[in-house]
Amino acid sequence: MGHYSDNCSDDLDTFWDESIHKCVPCHQHPQNPIQPGHEFSPNCGMHDDGGRSEETYRKCAAQTFNNGRFVKCQPCSSCPPNHQKLSECNHTTDTQCCGSRDQTGCREGVLGTTTQQVQQSTTLKVQMSTSNPTTAKHTDQTIRPPDVNHKTAWIVLTVILVLSVLVFLLFIYIKKRRGRSRAFCIRDKENKPCFKVSLNCLPSDNILYTNQQSWSSRGTAAVNEEVALLQSETRNLEDILSPDLQSAPLQTVLDNLDVLEELVILLDPEIPGVKNTSHLASRWSFPATWITYTYSMRDSKSPLRAVLEGVTTKHPDRTVGQLARLLREMDRNDAVVVLTKLTLFKVV
C-alpha cells in the first residue's frame, strides 16, 4: 500500500497537520469519525501540503468488516465445527454463529462464541502524538469484558471454604460439649464404683476439684456416706441432725464450701429415676422457667447454689432442718448425711 505523506510515511493511519507540524491520527480529526463498513485511506488520502489524492475513506474489502469500532477493517470470522452459521459476513457485521447445543434457541442478532472472542480481543489502535513531529507512539488499548466465569468460581470457592470452617468449628464445639458431659465413676480403695457424676454438673464458682487426690478423697468419703446412709434410712431426722444444725439458717450451707460442693455433686446431676436440684427447687415453689434457665447456665454456676442463694435471699428465716426434711421427702438421704458435716460459725 502506497502513501501520500512523506512526513507520516511510517504510519499510514495518520496525516500531516501543517498547523501543528505533527502527524495526527485520521480518526482524531473532528471531520473524520470512524465509519462502519469503511476504513481510512493511506494518510487519510492527504499530502503534506494539504492536497488530496483520494477520499478519506475506503470501503471494506471482501471478507472484511468494520462495525464502527475499528480503524481498520477486520477479517471475517469462520464458524467453528459443530456451530451453525446464522448469517454471512458483510461490510458492517461479522459472521454470526450459534453453538450446536443451542440450535433450538438460535435467533438473528446472536453472535457465536468465536465472533465474540474476536471482537473482545480486537485491538483499537490509538495514535498518541509526541514531541517529535515525524514520529508517533502507538498505544494498544484492548477493552475486555469482566471474566464472569472466573469471578463466579471464586465466589463459589469462597462460600465452600467458609461453610467448611463453620462445620469444623461446630464439630469441635459438639465434641467438646460431649466430652464435658460424659459421666465418669468415682471408685473407692477396693475399686468399687461409689457414684457417678457428670462434668457438666460440676460447680464452677470456686468449688471445682482440681486434682486427682481431691477426687480420691471424695471417693473414700462417698463410701463412708454410703454406710451412714444405710444406717440413717431407719432413723429419725432428729437422730441424724442435732437440734443446733436443724435450727441453723440455710445460709450455713452456703458458708460451708466443702459441704456445698459435696451436695452439688450429689444433687445437680440429672440421673433418670433420681430426684435432683430441679425437684428441690420445685418444692420451694420456683417456677419451671426459672429452673430450666438455671440448668441451662450450669456451665458457669451450680443450679443448687443458685437455688440456695435464691431461697436465703427471699426467705432468710429458712433453716437447715427444712432443707433436710425436703431431702428426706425426695429420698435423698445421702444428701442429708452430708448435712451432718456442717460447721456452725459463731457470731462474735
**What average pLDDT does the chain have?**
75
Per-residue confidence (pLDDT) for residue 214, from 0 to 100: 43
Q: What residue type is assigned to position 339 of the chain?
A: L
Rounded to the nearest 10 degrees, what angle do helices 288-296 and 303-314 cross at? Answer: 140
pTM of the model: 0.36
Q: What is the pLDDT of residues 83-137, one digit of tens each?
A: 888 889 999 999 998 875 555 546 444 444 444 444 444 434 433 443 344 444 4
Segments of the chain with pLDDT less than 70: 1, 100-150, 177-235, 346-348
- CB 327 within 8 Å of CB 336: yes
Domain boundaries, the chain: 14-144, 146-181, 184-339
Q: Are 341 and 259 in contact (CB under 8 A)?
A: yes
User: Got the DSSP string for 105-174?
Assistant: G--TTPPPHHHHHHHHH--EEEEEE-SSTT-EEEEEE------HHHHHHHHHHHHHHHHHHHHHHHHHHH
**Phi then psi dihedrals of residue 261, to 5 deg:** -70, -30
Instruction: Provide the grid cell at 224.
Output: 463412708
Q: What is the pLDDT of residue 287?
A: 93
Asked if residue 34 lies in contact with residue 66, where contact means CB atoms within 8 angstroms, the answer is yes
